[in-house]
């Protein structure tokens, strides 16, 4: 493997205890089976972090966005996981989602539990990051890929997850980043949607994750295997709120479930999942948003209603987000689904800010009813009040319409997008078409260029749709 170190656990010590001879071992094995019980404890704590430098590994380094999220290139990451730990990951997935490659047996619903973390090594540009927390990530995309027998699964990386077990990696970072997501570009033959959509949000001036293209190789005991093209995504609860707001001390929520709709009567603190200040029982910001949204002044005194709403919710940010999201089309989020966004209470303003997340299903008409129309026809305002109530207010609607025009004139301008798609296609083609069966969502390498052509056609069609909407 090019530039990949061979991990030698030369100091690994295996202690084997036979239960029948050691009083310190606790076992619930039936008495008649005690003679066969063996417990193996593997000690891999005795190592030296020889590649550690302040700039690359320490908490003291500022996040290096130019290094980690460099545009115009496809970088490589190697993940190395021992055979035993890899098997533990697979066994855990079987418990959560049923037999690999089978849609009929085992667990068929979404799991409420995250897959397990295991320690593994990450290699990049000849350097090693040690005992990094690695796990599979996702929900419907994770389940679908697993049950379809596709091992190109998304990963979450937490660089100091196991610092209590390995003091050598205390506060370990990857060029200033504690946590990162490797998204598998689920059901996206272009492999661009996650990155392009997120970058459009950022180009429009919204808080959103940085993204970059990477090829990923995984060695789980038999040498490096090519897992395909991934999109590396900056974590919102790590550096997004830390670098795109003045501080990271406010409440950060990742709503998921009925309460995420903010429909009347749905309030549930368990579904306003806190990602910061988890031990504090203060949900007054989200409960306040729910109260103001449904206050009777909305219909009796719209000016007062808007003033109260503007006081606790950054409506300008939301309307700009809504314009971008609806122009580019993105069905797998608020308005169709009760997930895939964050709310951050910006302490500078005391207002909740909307942050988009998980955009691999964007830039297409969509599934399960499809993306919302620009005028939100068919949307039940009471079910999705943050969209419905704001759009039905003439002042907010006028702002939304202004942002819609700005989006097609700027961040999603047609010629700009066509050139971007061509550039990314040239960048990705070799790596994308090298994906192999069992590690790809394509049926053939020809699917890649077909998907790129669809994106280019989509960009043109959205400009036409905006013109029709605004001139209607």
Judge whether residue 371 has pLDDT over 50: yes
Q: Is the pLDDT of residue 77 over 60?
A: yes
Q: What is the pLDDT of residue 27?
A: 38
Q: d(Cα 135, Cα 120) in Å, to the nearest integer? A: 10
Domain CATH code at residue 346 = 1.10.1070
Q: Are residues 261 and 121 in the same domain?
A: no
Residues 223 and 287 reside in one and the same domain = no
Q: Has residue 472 got a pLDDT over 90?
A: no
246-301 pLDDT, tens digit each: 999 999 999 999 999 999 999 999 999 999 999 999 999 999 999 999 999 999 99
- CB within 8 A of 398, min separation 6: which ones? none
Q: Is position 370 within any domain?
A: yes
Number of residues that make up the chain: 472
Answer whether 393's CB lies under 8 Å from 243's CB. no
Short-list 338, 207, 334, 345, CA closest to 276: 345
Asked whether residue 263 falls in the same domain as residue 400, the answer is yes
- Is the confidence at residue 217, as pLDDT, over 80? yes
**Is there a single domain that holds both residue 174 and residue 316?**
no
- Domain-embedded: residue 8: no
pTM of the model: 0.90
Q: What is the pLDDT of residues 155-178, one digit of tens each?
A: 999 999 999 999 999 999 999 999
Q: Record the tokens describing residue 132, joined without a space.
A: 């990094």
Q: Of 282, 291, 333, 298, give the one whose Cα is nearest residue 312.
A: 291
The dihedral through the CA atoms of 207, 179, 339, 250 has a sign that is negative
- CA separation for the pair 208, 227 (Å, rounded): 26
| DSSP, res 146 | H
* Ramachandran quadrant class, 456 (left: phi over 0; alpha: psi -120 to 50; beta: rest): alpha
Q: Are residues 136 and 264 in the same domain?
A: no
CB 273 within 8 A of CB 256: yes
* Radius of gyration of the chain, Cα coordinates, nearest whole angstrom: 24
Are 289 and 221 part of one and the same domain?
Answer: no
* Domain span at 334: 246-472
Q: Are 213 and 306 contained in the same domain?
A: no
Residue-level pLDDT at 109? 59
Q: Are 274 and 320 within one domain?
A: yes
Q: Is the pLDDT of residue 22 over 90?
A: no
pLDDT over threshold 60, residue 417: yes
Count of the separate structural domains present in the chain: 2
What pLDDT does 104 receive? 62
Distance between start and end Cα atoms, the chain: 59
Establish if 467 belongs to a structural domain: yes
pLDDT surpassing 50 at residue 80: yes
DSSP secondary structure letters along 167-217: GGGTT--BTTBSEEEEE--TT-TTS-HHHHHHHHHHHTT-----EEEEEEE
Identify the domain boundary among 216, 243, 270. Answer: 243
Residues 375 and 434 in one domain: yes
> Is 112 in the same domain as 81?
yes
The mean of the pLDDT values for the chain is: 91
| Res 90 pLDDT > 70 | yes
User: If we measure between CA atoms, which residue out of 218, 217, 219, 214 comes closest to residue 230?
Assistant: 214
How much is the pLDDT for 139? Answer: 87
Asked whether residue 71 is assigned to any structural domain, the reply reads: yes
Mean pLDDT of 71-76: 96
Q: Look at residue 237 and tell me if it is in a domain.
A: yes
Q: Looking at the predicted structure, is the pLDDT value of residue 363 above 90?
A: yes
In a domain, 4, yes or no: no
Residue 18 maps to a domain? no
DSSP 28: -
Judgement on whether residues 264 and 159 belong to the same structural domain of the protein: no
pLDDT score of 57 more than 80:
yes
Q: Does position 5 have pLDDT exceeding 60, yes or no?
A: no
The dihedral through the CA atoms of 196, 197, 200, 202 has a sign that is negative
Once rounded to an integer, what is the mean pLDDT over residues 460-464?
98
| 196 in a structural domain | no
Answer with the residue of higher pLDDT: 183 or 33: 183
């203060």: which residue's tokens? 282
Judge if 228 and 273 occupy the same domain.
no
Examine the pLDDT at 185 and tell me if it is beyond 70: yes
Question: Using an 8 Å Cβ cutoff, are 334 and 386 in contact?
Answer: yes
Residue 103 is predicted with a pLDDT of 80
Helix (H, G, I), strand (E, B) or coil at 354: strand
């Amino acid at each position: 493997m090019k530039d990949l170190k061979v991990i030698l656990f030369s100091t690994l010590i295996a202690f084997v205890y036979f239960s029948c001879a050691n009083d310190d071992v606790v076992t619930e094995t039936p008495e008649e089976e005690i003679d066969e019980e063996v417990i193996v404890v593997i000690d891999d704590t005795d190592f030296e972090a020889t590649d550690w430098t302040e700039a690359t590994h320490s908490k003291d380094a500022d996040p290096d966005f130019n290094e980690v999220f460099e545009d115009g290139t496809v970088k490589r990451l190697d993940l190395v996981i021992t055979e035993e730990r890899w098997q533990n990951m697979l066994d855990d997935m079987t418990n959560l989602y049923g037999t690999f490659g089978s849609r009929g047996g085992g667990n068929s619903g979404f799991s409420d539990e995250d897959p397990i973390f295991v320690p593994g090594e990450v290699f990049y540009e000849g350097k090693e990051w040690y005992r990094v927390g690695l796990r599979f990530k996702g929900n419907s995309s994770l389940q679908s890929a697993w049950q379809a027998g596709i091992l190109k699964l998304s990963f979450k990386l937490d660089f100091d997850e196991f610092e209590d077990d390995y003091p050598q990696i205390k506060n370990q970072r990857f060029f200033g980043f504690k946590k990162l997501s490797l998204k598998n570009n689920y059901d996206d033959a272009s492999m661009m949607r996650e990155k392009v959509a997120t970058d459009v949000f950022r180009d429009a001036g919204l808080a959103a994750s940085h993204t970059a293209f990477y090829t990923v190789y995984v060695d789980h005991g038999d040498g490096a295997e090519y897992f395909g093209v991934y999109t590396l995504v900056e974590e919102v609860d790590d550096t997004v709120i830390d670098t795109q707001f003045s501080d990271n001390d406010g409440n950060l929520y990742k709503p998921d479930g009925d309460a995420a709709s903010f429909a009347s009567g749905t309030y549930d603190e368990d579904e306003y999942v806190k990602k910061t200040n988890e031990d504090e029982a203060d949900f007054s910001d989200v409960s306040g948003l729910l109260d103001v949204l449904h206050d009777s002044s909305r219909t009796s005194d719209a000016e007062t209603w808007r003033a109260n709403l503007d006081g606790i919710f950054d409506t300008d940010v939301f309307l700009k987000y809504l314009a971008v999201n609806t122009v580019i089309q993105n069905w797998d989020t608020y308005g169709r689904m009760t997930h895939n966004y964050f709310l951050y209470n910006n302490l500078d303003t005391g207002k909740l800010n909307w942050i988009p997340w998980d955009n691999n299903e964007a830039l297409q008409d969509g599934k399960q009813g499809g993306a919302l129309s620009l005028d939100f026809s068919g949307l039940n305002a009471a079910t999705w009040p943050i969209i419905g109530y704001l759009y039905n207010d003439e002042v907010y609607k006028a702002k939304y319409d202004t942002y819609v025009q700005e989006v097609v004139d700027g961040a999603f301008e047609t010629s700009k997008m066509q050139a971007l798609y061509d550039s990314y296609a040239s960048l990705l083609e070799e790596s994308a078409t090298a994906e192999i069966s069992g590690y790809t969502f394509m049926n053939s390498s020809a699917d890649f260029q077909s998907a790129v052509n669809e994106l280019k056609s989509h960009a043109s069609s959205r400009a036409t749709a905006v013109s029709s909407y605004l001139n209607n």
